[in-house]
Every structure is written in C-alpha cells, then in structure tokens.
C-alpha cells in the first residue's frame, strides 16, 4: 500500500509540472503576441508620421 501511495504522489507531481509547463507556454505565447502588437502599432505610427510629412510637402507645393 505504501508504494502505491508514493507512486500516486509522483503521478500527481508530474501532472502538476505538466500543467505548469502548459500554462507557462500559454503565457509566453500571449506575451509574444502583445509584443508583436506593440511593434505593429509603432510601425503604423511611423507610417502615419511619414504620410503627414508628405502631405505637408504636397500642400506647400500646391
């Protein structure tokens, strides 16, 4: 009976480690996606500035 209980405890420990690994992977994936969104926003902001600058140049030439 003692060996069965320790085997069960080891099984529960392995399942807990597996669960934590899955949760960690999901969190890492979410953080990566947030980082990519920030990069896209910065890129779009730079494009917007360039468009504004070009618009000002065109307005001055007209």
Q: Which two three-digit tokens encode residue 46?
A: 């730079």
Provide the 8-state DSSP code for 62. -
Q: Which two three-digit tokens encode residue 56?
A: 């000002």
- Round to whole Å and give the CA distance between 31 and 24: 11
Instruction: For 9-45, write each residue's pLDDT tens digit.
Output: 899 999 999 999 999 999 999 999 999 999 999 999 9
pLDDT of residue 3: 62
pLDDT of residue 53: 94
Residue 1 vs residue 21, higher pLDDT: 21
């Amino acid at each position: 009976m003692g060996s069965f209980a320790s085997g069960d405890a080891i099984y529960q420990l392995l399942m807990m480690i597996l669960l934590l690994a899955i949760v960690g992977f999901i969190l890492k994936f979410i953080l990566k996606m947030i980082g990519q969104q920030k990069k896209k926003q910065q890129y779009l902001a730079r494009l917007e500035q360039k468009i504004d600058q070009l618009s000002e140049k065109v307005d001055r030439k007209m």
